Amino acid sequence: MEKVDSKSCCPVCPEYADTPYMHFIFSDHVTLLFDFWTVQTLAGLVLSFVVVLLLTVLYELSKVWKSNLLARVIQTLPVTPDSALYPPLISDAESNLPVSSDALLTPDPLCPEETPVPSMQFSSSTYRWWLLHSFLALLHTAQVFLGYALMLCVMTYNAAIFIAVVLGSALGYYVAFPFLAKYPKPHSL
């Protein structure tokens, strides 16, 4: 394992030091995602291991969080969509959106079921729906980015980083799954 090292491969041309590997290696020389995230020591590798593990746990948690938020969106949805949903939706969004976006979402993010079911007044209901929907879209954007970033981390073929992703995914799933809201989900998020 230690014999295959890019440093020993090409000492003349250091710009080839980060030649992409095509197989897994154990090495403490790795560059992850950004130029400044260049690891060259064992301590740095351990730190990167922890960071990647936490990012993967965060990814798994955000998936459950998104699923629970989607369940709440369904609860928040007005009962009669054709009369209540379409026309006031746009006006509510234009007027009320920048008022307070955090007030609804901050309390206990993983178990929205504990909060009481929102009152079904039309204006506040559509307002809440719009807020949750916007936040869900933002969360989805972050999730896509994080998912691809983790894919790129794995693609460095660094075995320690790969183990961090797998362990983080397992840990995140193990921790987050009990918080999944109990409602029938016909789709996978």
Partner 1 sequence: MCPGPRVQASDDAHHMTFYFGYENVELLFTGLVINTAGEMAGAFVAVFLLALLYEGLKISRESLLRKSQVSIRYNSMPVPGPNGTTLMETHKTVGQQMLSLPHVFQTFLHIIQVVVSYFLMLVFMTYNAYLCIAVAAGAGTGYFLFSWKKAVVVDITEHCH
Binding site for partner 1 (CB under 8 A): 9-10, 12-13, 15-16, 18-20, 31, 33-35, 37, 70, 73-74, 77, 81, 133-134, 136-138, 140-142, 144-145, 148, 151-152, 155-156, 183-184, 186-187
Q: How far is the CB of 138 from partner 1 (least distance, A)?
A: 6
CB of 34 or CB of 116, closer to partner 1: 34
- Whose Cβ is closer to partner 1: residue 109's or residue 147's? 147
CA distances from 106 to 1, 23, 110, 155 (A): 47, 43, 10, 35
User: Cβ closer to partner 1: 64 or 73?
Assistant: 73
Q: Tokens in use for 104?
A: 């609804």
Per DSSP, the residues of 51-62 read HHHHHHHHHHHH
CA angle 146, 147, 149 (to 5 degrees): 60
Based on CB atoms, which residue is closest to partner 1, 37 or 174?
Answer: 37
CB of 77 to partner 1, least distance (A): 6
CB of 129 to partner 1, least distance (A): 8
Closer by beta carbon to partner 1, 143 or else 169: 143
Q: Which secondary structure element, helix H or strand E, spans residue 39, and what is its range?
A: strand 38-39
Whole-number minimum distance, CB 143 to partner 1, in Å?
Answer: 8
Q: How far is the CB of 174 from partner 1 (least distance, A)?
A: 26
Closest to 97 measured CA to CA, from 127, 76, 133: 127
Alpha helices in the chain (DSSP H): 6-9, 42-76, 81-84, 86-96, 122-154, 159-176
Cβ–Cβ < 8 Å for 69, 129: no
